[in-house]
Structure formats: C-alpha cells, structure tokens
C-alpha cells in the first residue's frame, strides 16, 4: 500500500486532539447491521405518522419523478428495497465498484465500514486493494485521490466529517478544480469524488456539525452535490462518481438512519445541476437542499394549514452548478422567495441565490427575499437548538413575505 508505517504513526498534535473524540464516535456509530434493521423498523413507524409532504422530503417513497424513472433500467424499474440513507449510499458504492474495475474507495476507517457504516462489507466484497483505510490526513488522502484520478481512474475518497475537509482545501481548490484548465484539457481529475458527512446532528458541537458547501461553490471546476433522502442519495452519488468533473458530495449525517425509502435496487442516476420541485405552489417559493428539506417541508405544511399559503418547495440537489432557471421561473410565478440552510448567513449560498433572483426577478418581487440560516458564530453545542434554522423560523419568514 502507498502509506508507510512511519506515516501512520507519525506524531501530530491534531491527531492527539482528535483521538478521544474519534473513540467516542466509534462507540456511538459503529454498530452492526442488526441495529440498522431495528432502525428501519422504527423509522417506518415514525414515518407513518408524518404528513405526505414530510415523507416526500424525508423518506421519499414517491420521490422519483417521471424523468428520473426513465433513468432506471426498464428491467429493474419495479425492483425496490427498503433502505435508509446510509444503506442507499452503500448500495451506490457497491454498484460503482462493480461496474468500474478501476474504481477504488478509501478514507479514514473506510475498510471496516466507516463510523457511519456507509462502506460496510465492501472491503470483503472487493478486497483490500480497492477498499482501504488511510491515515488521519485529509490533505494526504485527497492528494492521493487526485493523483489516481489523473491517471484516468475513479477515486472515491471519504473525509470522515465535513468539518475535517479544510486541511485538504488547497488540494481541492488549487489542484483538483484547476487540473483540467491549467493543462488545456490535456489532463483532468474528473474521476475524483469526495464524500463527506455534513451538518447538525444534535450533539456534534464545533467540529462535527459544520456545513462547508459555500466554500467550494466559489471554486470553478468543482461540482457540489447534497442529497435529501435515500433515493436521491443513490442516484446523485452514482452520477457524481461518473461525472467528468471532480465532485464534492455532502451527505446529511443527521438522517443517515432517520430517512427511509423504497429505493430501486438497480443502477440509476439522477442528473446533476437540475433542481427538483418537491411541491408545486403559487404564493411563495421556498428553496433548500439536503437535510434542511425536511425542515422546510414542515414549515410549508404549517403555512398552508395556518395561513392558507401555497408554498412551492424546491430542492436544489446540486448547488454548483445550481438550477437558477428553476428558481427564477418559480419566483416569477410566486413573487416571493425564502431560502434556508444551516451554514452561517453571511456569504452562505443563500446570498448567491438571492443576488441572482434579485437581478432576474426584480419587477416580479412582491416582498424582500428572506434568508433563514445559521448565525454568524461557531456552531454551538448547548445552544444548537437556538442556532439551527428550524421549521418555526422558516414559517415566520414565510409569514413575513406574505404580510409585506
């Protein structure tokens, strides 16, 4: 293997800080598949008490649009299996490794299944040369992925938490993103996909809760993808792995087990760069991505029940490139826009969406655009409930644009 023993045990102050935390994470997250089965049963009971719109965002039992259905092979279209989000990710990785003999999967603790179990059993199926652990060096594992992809092969890297992606920032934005451009399209690292769990989880604190997507949307040459449920996760991940550009694939860890759906068992892809209109409406456009879609579904449902407001709920799916046409056409119809994400408000991606809508829909707007986001502070531990942009905050934003 390409890592030496010295690199594995080389002392580093950052590793000393992270070891205790990582051990506790293993205790919390590295459970057996039996637990996943119990979780699926629990999630099914939980899902039965949810509204239709909530289920569409969280469990997505009917999420595949007609266009998405057409992407599923005819002979497999009617074959489904009950999966939560992490099992859907596992299924996508399994298919990617099966269909591409040059594909490899690597990262911190990936070989034994990862702390969220997304790669469980894959080492046994494909061998230690294709599914293997790396040292605790995000810069090193991403750099390795760039080199492997530069040879025309498929590199699927896992950064254990999106909060840890920053040591690899230079490799991602200065190497991976610019490789094709600086070589005049003679070389590229389009085979590189970087997976990372992101977002609030209820107890993650400063270093296990961040949403770093906006940092990468400022970088031409990358694609940034965030799924909201198992069906979307599998189709979008397979598209990301096969896309001819390097992709940052952010997985909402709060719903790894909570989000459950009947997922097609076969090989299918959902196009990158195309938003999904989760619910059509006429009064206000509500935009989000990832786990925030579940929050927004609750807010839209309450607005309809309490205020009689018809909300058009849009999941961007891909935020670089993002489907500005879908959002613009919606706002021209509704005249109002609410955008929400967990990341801090200042320079968050909601600001980009707001700017584009202001430029293209100025004469159509009936109220100021509302951004419902995290506060401009480090992510707090004990104050997480006050920090996150929950459904009530989004409901109040919908009320404000309607009352303006």
Residues taking part in catalysis: 138, 208
Note the helical H segments in 197-243.
213-217, 230-242
Length of the chain: 404
**Contacts for 270 with CB less than 8 Å, ≥ 6 apart:** 68, 71, 232, 235, 236, 239, 317
| Residues in contact with 295: Cβ distance below 8 Å, sequence separation at least 6, in sequence order | 288, 340, 389, 390, 391, 394
- Closest Cα to residue 171, out of 248, 233, 242, 116? 248
User: How far from 151 is each of 130, 145, 221, CA to CA, in Å?
Assistant: 16, 10, 18
> What is the dihedral angle through the alpha carbons of 235, 344, 379, 16, rounded to the nearest 10 degrees?
70
Distance from C-alpha of 304 to C-alpha of 333, rounded to nearest angstrom:
17
Residues 6+ apart with CB under 8 A from 167: 14, 137, 138, 139
32 to 36, 120, 212, 241, 397: CA distances (angstroms) = 7, 9, 30, 27, 42
**Alpha carbon distances (Å) from 35 to 20, 313, 338:** 24, 33, 38
| Backbone phi, psi, residue 184, to 5° | 65, 35
Q: Tell me the C-alpha distance between 208 and 198, whole Å.
A: 8
**How far is CA 235 from each of CA 58, 213, 315, 384, rounded to the nearest angstrom?**
16, 20, 15, 31
Say which DSSP state 94 is in. Answer: H
- Between CA 311 and CA 318, with CA 315 as vertex, the angle to 5 degrees is 155
Query: Per DSSP, what are the bridge partners of residue 224?
Result: 248, 320
Indicate the helix (H) or strand (E) that contains 157: strand 155-158
């Amino acid at each position: 293997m390409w890592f030496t023993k010295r690199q594995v045990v080389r002392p580093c102050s950052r590793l000393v800080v992270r070891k205790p935390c990582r051990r506790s994470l293993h205790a919390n997250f590295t459970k057996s598949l039996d637990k996943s089965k119990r979780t699926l049963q629990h999630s099914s009971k939980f899902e039965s008490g949810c509204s239709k719109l909530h289920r569409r965002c969280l469990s997505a039992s009917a999420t595949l649009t007609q266009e998405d259905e057409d992407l599923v092979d005819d002979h497999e279209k009617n074959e489904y299996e009950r999966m939560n989000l992490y099992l859907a990710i596992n299924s996508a990785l399994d298919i990617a490794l099966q269909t591409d003999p040059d594909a490899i999967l690597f990262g911190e603790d990936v070989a034994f299944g990862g702390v969220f179990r997304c790669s469980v059993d894959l080492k046994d199926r494909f061998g230690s040369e294709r599914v293997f652990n790396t040292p605790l060096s995000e810069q090193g594992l991403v750099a390795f992925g760039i080199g492997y992809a530069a040879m025309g092969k498929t590199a699927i890297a896992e950064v254990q938490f999106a909060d840890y992606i920053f040591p690899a920032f230079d490799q991602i934005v200065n190497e991976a993103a610019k490789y094709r451009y600086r070589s005049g399209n003679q070389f590229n690292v389009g085979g590189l996909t970087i997976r990372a769990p992101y977002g609030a989880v209820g107890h993650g604190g400063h270093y296990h809760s961040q949403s770093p997507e906006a940092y990468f949307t400022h970088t031409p040459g990358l694609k940034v993808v965030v799924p909201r449920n198992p069906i979307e996760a599998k189709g979008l991940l397979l598209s990301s792995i096969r896309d001819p550009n390097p992709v940052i694939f952010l997985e909402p860890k709060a719903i790894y087990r909570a989000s459950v759906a009947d997922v097609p068992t076969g090989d299918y892809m959902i196009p990158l760069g195309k938003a999904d209109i989760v619910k059509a409406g006429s009064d206000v456009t509500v935009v989000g991505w990832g786990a925030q879609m579940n929050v927004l579904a609750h807010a839209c449902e309450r607005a309809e029940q309490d205020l009689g407001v018809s909300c058009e709920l849009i999941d961007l799916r891909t935020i670089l490139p993002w489907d500005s046409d879908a959002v613009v056409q919606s706002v021209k119809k509704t005249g109002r826009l609410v955008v929400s994400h967990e990341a801090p408000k200042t320079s968050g991606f909601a600001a980009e969406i707001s700017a584009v809508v202001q430029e293209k829909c100025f004469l159509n707007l009936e109220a100021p655009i509302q951004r419902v986001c995290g506060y401009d502070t480090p992510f707090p531990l004990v104050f997480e409930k006050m920090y996150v942009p929950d459904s009530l905050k989004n409901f109040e934003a919908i009320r404000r644009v309607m009352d303006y």
